[in-house]
Amino acid sequence: MGLNVGYPLLVALGIGFVDALPILGSGTVIVPWAIISAVNGDIKLAVCLFVLLAIIMVVRQFLEPRIVSGHIGTHPIFTLIAMYTGFKLSGVLGLFIGPIVLIILQNIFETMIDNGIVKTLLDRK
């Protein structure tokens, strides 16, 4: 079942490195590689590469926010909103800062609610 991939570990590390770079993703390497493989007649490798890319995209879109939110203890939609807002406000660094700010705000408000500060503010007339 070999797919004629020389040095697969080195190729995987290269794709992982490109995937970690801002703006670029794994598709930057996989799509041209699949097209070149198809043009050279290795249709099996091209199809496998496109299937791999589809799997990567599905995992990125659906599972990654759930995994991140599960580790930080927030709902996935709030994590996505925090990541998007952070990105819009301060770029790639904001992708990391946004969820951190969300966690801090969540802890502040939970503490305020637990200590009854919000309740006393609402009860005052």
- pLDDT tens column, 13-28: 999 888 877 677 888 9
- pLDDT tens column, 70-86: 666 777 788 888 888 98
8 A C-beta contact, residue 122 and residue 112 = no
Which residue's entry shows tokens 């590469």?
49
- Domain spans of the chain? 1-64, 73-125
Give the pLDDT of residue 99: 84
- pLDDT tens column, 34-72: 999 999 999 999 999 999 999 988 887 777 777 766 666
> How far is CA 4 from each of CA 1, 18, 39, rounded to the nearest angstrom?
9, 22, 15
Cα atoms found within 13 Å of the Cα of residue 71, Cβ hemisphere only: 7
